[in-house]
Structure 1
Amino acid sequence: MKIGRETMQPIYDFVDKAQANEQPFFIWYGVFLPHAPHNAPDRLFNKYKDIAPDEPTARYWANVEWLDEGCGQIVDYLKQKNLYENTIFVFTCDNGWVQNPERMNSSIRSKREPVEAGIRTPIFITHEATIEAARDKETLASNIDIATTILQACDIDPPTEMTGLDLRDPKALQDRDRVFVDVYEHDSDLDRLEDLDDGLVARVVIDGWDKLIARPSGSELYDLKNDPDDRNDLSAKNPDKLQKLTRLITNWMSEGAAK
């Protein structure tokens, strides 16, 4: 809670120690921002209070900028230490968030839900020495690609069990035609980890622009090209496509069990 909100000094100290020992370093900045409480200082809230649609959203936007500031401070510190150009940065998050306009510190139709606002999250990879700046809003990528990308960047071959791609390789990403997602309840029963259905909220496959949300209670089908916020369930109108995508999830689960 304190790192990012009150200080960045522990990260600076870690970098200094690694540099003094001439050691490479890995930093996992598991920042609590922009998580609630949305208590960014007024200097940030005041920037958004008159342009946001409501106060809870303005408070959330201020927290997002607070997060941005902390990330920027890490970048600035590494530049001061002449470490920036040789450092790979990865930025991602574990879920999406749509602020509840009527209630502070709460979300609607996003976090812990299989809808696009919950599972479509950013991934940034930067390495000034080797990666050219670009933005891609359509190619399918997944957080499972992060570990394999880092390994490849370090000239380490990922083990065959890892199915992620190298996010620096546009050709490999273009050849991918689908990604899978699973969503579980917030807390898991450690005694039932072998049961892949325990606490399951939904499994998802995105195949091109087609998306299937398979919940224990039933399945939903969406066309993300024309319905990017997955509001119009087409499952009743497209039973063949529903069955095809359901088979993809079944095969994915079978392949995982085989490994």
Structure 2
Amino acid sequence: MTRACIVSLVAIVAWAGSAFARDHGPNVVLIIADDHAWTDYSFMGHPQVQTPRIDRLAAEGATFRGGYVPSSLCSPSLATILTGLYAHQHMLTSNDPPGTSGGHAETSSGRALRDGRRRMVGFLEAAPTLPRLLAVRGYASFQAGKWWGGNFRTGGFTEGMTHGDAARGGRHGDDGLEIGRRTMQPVLDFIDRSVEGGRPFFLWYAPMMPHQPHDPPERLLAKYRDRTPSQHVAKYWAMIDWFDETCGTLLDHLDAREITDDTLVVYLADNGWVQDPEAPRYAARSKQSPYDGGLRTPIIVRWPGKVRPRTIDRPVSSIDVAPTILAAVGMEPTSAMRGVDLLDSAAVTSRPAVFGEVFTHDAVDLERPASSLRFRWAVSGGWKLILPDPRNSPGLAAELYELAADPFETRDLARREPAKVDELRRLIEAWWDPKA
């Protein structure tokens, strides 16, 4: 082969590579923490918890410190991330179907529960999920970790770890829950296959971490045992440290495969967790609550050379994750998506509020999202209004907080600021009126 031919071949390969990038956009890695409070990162100012790898990710990307998830419970929250829809749109308001009554581990034993679970899986199967949308552009996709949608194929993933068979313990991840805690190999192998096959990929990395059981390695627990009098808090902090290590393993693999610059990484938590220092459980005003301890999470978007590293304090939402990913790969959001592209500063700053909804753990009626509603909420202009629903939260009044001055929501100002309550109530009703 002549030198001229070699040069021409190199040019063709380079053009093909750039055309491939134009046609398909970046690889996408979605990292989702599980039961992780917004305060519990060193980059967010925690004095004890060490998260060096997530800190580095935050420093390298656009970091939204005032991020929220609409629902403070994992199944509806994860479905929102995957679909770009609120729970009252995608219909997965709760973790479990009606009739569970705390016996969610036995959902395979009763026909009504089995049928309810199949119906819930069907909602996700019918939704325009990110893996299904990205498949149109040739993306391979992989599910690892928490997953409430039955088999991974239900969500449109081309590969995955979760079988979803209720008779074999399939409820919220089954075999997929080994990721992070026992192995990282399945996700690393998937990345390798995608790179070697020349195919763009979407990775759902949602390990059940720092989620209970809080059983960190002794080497990590030893770091925190003397930093708090509570063994329960020490275990939770060590779990965060362990999760951070797994994030490092994943990010290092992108570096090793030399695809970091070609990969969009999005980070957030599915919901918050405030550890009860006296018992192995979450405290009030965290998970399943309408307070920031259950709803707030930093959201990080990193794409070297494409996303300018910066810190943004304006409130955003996990409803924005799907539109942001689609925009990065050159696709439009679906008409039902109500979020914005986080990298569109004008869209982020012009939005009047971010909204959310909290439902019962077990659904009341799968076909009627409003039947399971407990709270609606909005954050706007530094204020937060919580509206309880009288059917599932009887006897509770609206609560109003000025978050800039009171970030942990200790002073309810609803009686003192009735005009602000009315203003935010109107925004919430315009966003979703469950009576309509």
TM-score (structure 2 length as normaliser): 0.56
Larger radius of gyration: 2
* Higher mean displacement: 141-150 or 108-117: 108-117
Q: Which residue of 2 aligns with 1:50?
A: 226
Supply the AA of the counterpart residue of 2:254: L
Q: Which residue of 2 aligns with 1:185?
A: 360
What's the offset of the Cα at 1:105? 4.3
The answer to whether residue 296 in structure 2 is matched with residue 85 in structure 1 is no
Question: Following the alignment from structure 1 to structure 2, what is the Cα–Cα distance between the partners of residues 132 and 65?
Answer: 27
What's the offset of the Cα at 1:257? 9.2
Question: Following the alignment from structure 1 to structure 2, what is the Cα–Cα distance between the partners of residues 244 and 168?
Answer: 28
CA contact (8 A) 1:86 1:129 kept: no
Supply the AA of the counterpart residue of 2:285: R
Question: Following the alignment from structure 2 to structure 1, what is the Cα–Cα distance between the partners of residues 413 and 345?
Answer: 31
What's the offset of the Cα at 1:211? 1.1
The answer to whether residue 179 in structure 2 is matched with residue 3 in structure 1 is yes
Q: Which residue of 2 aligns with 1:226?
A: 405
Deviations 1:168-196 (A, max 9, x none): 2223222223111111122335xx33423
Q: What SS class does the counterpart of residue 125 from structure 1 fall into?
A: strand
Structure 1: 5+ residue stretches without partners: none
Question: Following the alignment from structure 2 to structure 1, what is the Cα–Cα distance between the partners of residues 366 and 270?
Answer: 20
Q: Which residue of 1 aligns with 2:129?
A: none
Q: Which residue of 2 aligns with 1:122?
A: 298
Partner residue of 2:415 out of 233, 236, 239: 236
Partner residue of 2:427 out of 225, 248, 252: 248
Give the 3 Å change call, closer, same or farther, for CA 15–257 of structure 1 in structure 2. Answer: farther
- Give the structure, 1 or 2, with the largest relative contact order (CA under 8 Å, sep 6 or more): 2
Deviations 1:78-105 (A, max 9, x none): 1111122101111111211111010124
TM-score (structure 1 length as normaliser): 0.92
Q: Which residue of 2 aligns with 1:165?
A: 340
* Higher mean displacement: 26-35 or 225-234: 225-234
Q: What SS class does the counterpart of residue 235 from structure 1 fall into?
A: coil
Moved over 3 A (4+): 105-108
Supply the AA of the counterpart residue of 2:335: T
What's the offset of the Cα at 1:112? 1.0
Question: Following the alignment from structure 1 to structure 2, what is the Cα–Cα distance between the partners of residues 65 and 180?
Answer: 31
Structure 2: 5+ residue stretches without partners: 1-176
Question: Following the alignment from structure 1 to structure 2, what is the Cα–Cα distance between the partners of residues 44 and 244?
Answer: 48
The answer to whether residue 241 in structure 2 is matched with residue 65 in structure 1 is yes
Deviations 1:173-228 (A, max 9, x none): 22223111111122335xx3342322212100112112110012331111112211
Q: Which residue of 1 aligns with 2:381?
A: 208
Identity of aligned residues (%): 40
Structure 1 vs Structure 2 CA RMSD = 1.8
